[in-house]
Amino acid sequence: MDKYTSVELSETIKNSGCELESKYWWCLSNVTESGFELCIKNELPRTHEVIPYYPAYDLLWDICVKYAKEFFGSFNHRNISYRVHNLLIDNEKQIAEDLIWKSCLFNPKNK
């Protein structure tokens, strides 16, 4: 299971004002096809130049547990967390990310 937010969701969340900490980051890289690689923020590879760009949140731990209230508010977080967990078990990461964004307080439609 790919457990971190995609580059696309990470970018959207960051550009919507989320400044929550994450150990992992999507870093600009010149050695990957996508142009990004997953890095530990304080342990960037020294073999080539990378630039931390977007935080990569763990979908279950960071979003559904650690920062659940910041992402979903006090009332919704348990139901959403349960649904995301089940979607990830079923290898439906894109649907889980869509649910996170649709329900997320950082989404301008939810403000």
User: For the chain, how far is it from start to end, CA to CA, in angstroms?
Assistant: 31
Least confident of 52-56, 60-64, 93-97, 102-106: 52-56
Tens-digit pLDDT profile for residues 41-59: 777 666 656 677 899 999 9
Q: What residue ranges do the domains of the chain occupy?
A: 7-110
Least confident of 15-24, 40-49, 68-77: 40-49
As a whole number, the mean pLDDT across the chain is 88
Residue where the block lists tokens 């870093």: 27
CB 75 within 8 A of CB 92: no
